[in-house]
Structure 1
Amino acid sequence: MTWPEGIVARSITTGDAPAWADLLAAREAFDQDGENYDASDLLEELEDPQLDAERATVGLWSGDQMIGYAKIHPARTVVDVDRVSVEGTVHPEWRRRGLGGALMRWTIHAAGEQHAATFPDSPGEVRASAKNTHEGSIAMLRGLGFEEARYFFDMKAPLDGPLQSFETPDGLQLVHYDPSFDEALRVAHNEAFRDHWGSVPRDPESWKTHVTGSRAFRPKLSYVVLDGDTVAAYALGYEWAADTAVTGIREVYVGQVGTRRAYRGRGLARAALATVLAEGARAGYQRASLGVDADNPTGALGLYESLGFVVHSKWITFRRAL
């Protein structure tokens, strides 16, 4: 990959976390995407045991300032298509110089190499997302051969008004998350999302790293519905300290909500999610948020709207065949 003269490109290391956080703060101040990260969040990403930062990341530098980055997220398993998700940005003061296009070409190349090394016998695609108001990013992706594949909503709900509660059916228990049934929860999540677009099963290491082992995970704001030892439904809460520091609003992010097929239609996810919201309000959180596939096959959008969530922003997922 050829980079503009004077720009140094290299993989991102743990020592780069503060400079990376500064870059993302500049992006958020300009783009207003509602995404805030501190150096500890990024250090956690770089210490992911499944991340090969040497091959999966690149940072662009002007002196000691990180002015752009890109990162690929290889799939660990394949169901139908090997989807390699990518992310990246350019500092607002360095945009319109071709750096964004150069970074995306790097991700396409890196994703292609990753696909060839891991799942060459499956169809492959590279996947990127853009907020629907970011016309420049959308035009760049289309110019590089990406096509629109899916739409997602970022939804928010205030926690300062009356909150609903729901009873679980006889024989089922609604309880706090506990590490003792973490593996049963992982199995339930994989089964619940088996029919969702782009979803692949979580292996134990990935689950512990990104879901219940994340520093943002809040066990006291996470609930599961149990049928004996079986996890029937669940709603898991998270808190991003960087968001609170920037916005001044304590927000509980509901990262995962699901119900196993055999238990659907009984209001179990509704009960778990409503309890997360009520507990969040009692703990002093001012708002809740979550993301949802606009074409979610289980009718999740209607569930969230009935609990007070409204669409805050819209995102487009693009794909390009490898």
Structure 2
Amino acid sequence: MPPPVTSERSTLPEGWSTRVPGDGDIGALTALLAANRRHGSSPVDVATLTALVVGPASWTRRQLVVLDASATLVGWVVVHDRANGRTEVTVLVAPDAPAQGAIAAGLFAWADREAAEVAALRRAPRTQLDSAADADDDRQRTWLAAAGYDCVRTWLKMDRPVDPAEAEPGALPEPRPGVRVRRVREHGNGLPTAEDLQTVHLVLEQSFADHFNSYREGFAEFVVRLQEDPWHRWDHWWIAEVELEGEWRPGGALISSVSPPDAAGAYGSYVDYIGVHRRARGRGVAKALLSTVVADAARRGRTRVSLEVDADSSTNADGLYLSLGWVVDHRTESWHRYVDAGTQG
């Protein structure tokens, strides 16, 4: 049984209601996500959806579903307390629902209030709201602008096909002299060592310090957040080391995960993070890490490696990916808004 209907403070059409989603809503939410997906995209990832609604990922999220007068689920809003001063907002409305603009406006207003309360609980003076839209989704972009968000960045979603032959030694370029790549070390029970996990976190933090919208995320929040993903795997973490004055030091890191089956039922790998420390830039570290994840995907029988890159980055990372066989699948946008902390009635 879904949770009982609760009152909601935002303005919605007469006779409509909202409540917190539960197990019984997974099917309807799957249909809602499918209706909002781009034509030709992969099927809805039900495992991730379930984790968000009733699994560990739900613990850092506040969410509501919208029911029309006939109790049909027509909307969903998620406010993700990602880190101190960083809140992610997702608003979805059924494309065939009446009064779509009113639903979206009410859900974005609710998200403002919840994010303000989260910021107050964290004792942060304000928080950044981050919401995404496909670059060609004029409906979502219109709602975001009406809710006070500004488009601040464009991202390229890229895919690279994987050839099974790339699993063979020598099929991909070897790292340059003075560069080597290894997996994070594991204990006998299969769990990674604290030292290597902390190294990956530190390298990524330092690598992204001069990137767009960079912020500090504590180690504990970092590892817990990544484990919320049902497709996370510890054996998909790598460290690149560079030789400096006769000593091997961390120079880069890559975290990947499993991409759920596409329309043909084939799994892939997804690059969640790749970072190169400033002291190691210009030594082919990124190429070495990417070759590692491609070879790993080939050995696992996967058909693709996907990633996301900042289209406006001063490092021209998209050029590197294009040169290594990645192609642009589609573009998305980040839209931001800021709200002050506080409990609003």
Q: Same fold (TM over 0.5)?
A: yes
Structure 2 alignment gaps of length 5 or more: 1-9, 186-191, 340-345
Contact persistence 2:57–2:228 (CA under 8 A): no
Counterpart in the other structure of 2:14: 5
Counterpart in the other structure of 1:27: 36
Counterpart in the other structure of 1:156: 159
Q: Sequence identity, in percent? A: 24
- Cα distance in 1 between the residues matched to 2:264 and 2:312: 30
Counterpart selection for 2:174 from 167, 173, 195: 167
| CA positional deviation for 1:37 | 1.9
| CA positional deviation for 1:149 | 0.8
- Equivalent AA in structure 1 for residue 206 of structure 2: E
1:188 is aligned to 2:214:
no
Contact persistence 1:24–1:37 (CA under 8 A): no
TM-score of the two chains, using structure 1 as the length reference: 0.84
- Cα distance in 2 between the residues matched to 1:58 and 1:174: 44
The worse-fitting range, judged by mean Cα deviation, of 63-72 and 283-292 is: 63-72
Aligned length: 311
Per-residue CA distance 1:114-149 (angstroms, 9 max, x = gap): 334435435x43222111111111122222322221
- Equivalent AA in structure 2 for residue 37 of structure 1: D
Runs of at least 4 residues of structure 1 off by over 6 A? none
Counterpart in the other structure of 1:281: 298
- Cα distance in 2 between the residues matched to 1:257 and 1:299: 14
**Residues 96 and 312 of structure 1: is their aligned pair in 2 closer, same or farther, counting only changes over 3 Å?**
farther
Counterpart selection for 1:216 from 227, 231, 238: 231
Structure 1 alignment gaps of length 5 or more: none
Alignment of 1:127-276 (within 5 A): 127-160=130-163, 165-178=172-185, 179-180=192-193, 181-211=196-226, 214-227=229-242, 230-241=249-260, 243-244=261-262, 246-276=263-293
- Equivalent AA in structure 2 for residue 287 of structure 1: R
Counterpart selection for 2:104 from 83, 100, 106: 100
**Residues 52 and 235 of structure 1: is their aligned pair in 2 closer, same or farther, counting only changes over 3 Å?**
closer
- Equivalent AA in structure 1 for residue 174 of structure 2: E
Per-residue CA distance 1:155-183 (angstroms, 9 max, x = gap): 11112387663333445431123312112
Counterpart in the other structure of 2:6: none
SS of residue in 1 equivalent to 2:96: helix
- Cα distance in 1 between the residues matched to 2:174 and 2:227: 25
| CA positional deviation for 1:229 | 7.6
SS of residue in 2 equivalent to 1:26: helix
Per-residue CA distance 1:258-314 (angstroms, 9 max, x = gap): 111111111111101112112212322112211111122433212111111111111
Counterpart in the other structure of 2:67: 61
Alignment of 1:80-119 (within 5 A): 82-94=85-97, 96-97=99-100, 98-119=102-123
SS of residue in 1 equivalent to 2:240: strand
**Residues 274 and 190 of structure 1: is their aligned pair in 2 closer, same or farther, counting only changes over 3 Å?**
same
- Equivalent AA in structure 1 for residue 96 of structure 2: E
- Cα distance in 2 between the residues matched to 1:109 and 1:121: 14
- Cα distance in 1 between the residues matched to 2:298 and 2:254: 15
- Equivalent AA in structure 2 for residue 26 of structure 1: A
Counterpart in the other structure of 1:42: 49
**Residues 50 and 288 of structure 1: is their aligned pair in 2 closer, same or farther, counting only changes over 3 Å?**
same
**Residues 119 and 264 of structure 1: is their aligned pair in 2 closer, same or farther, counting only changes over 3 Å?**
farther
Per-residue CA distance 1:33-87 (angstroms, 9 max, x = gap): 557320x32332344478354xx2111134664321111123423xxxx342211
Contact persistence 1:155–1:309 (CA under 8 A): yes
- Cα distance in 2 between the residues matched to 1:71 and 1:220: 30
1:125 is aligned to 2:128:
yes
Counterpart in the other structure of 2:5: none
Contact persistence 2:119–2:125 (CA under 8 A): no
1:321 is aligned to 2:327:
no
Contact persistence 1:71–1:107 (CA under 8 A): yes
- Cα distance in 1 between the residues matched to 2:28 and 2:218: 31
Q: Which has the larger radius of gyration?
A: 2
- Equivalent AA in structure 1 for residue 156 of structure 2: F
RMSD: 2.8
- Cα distance in 1 between the residues matched to 2:117 and 2:240: 42
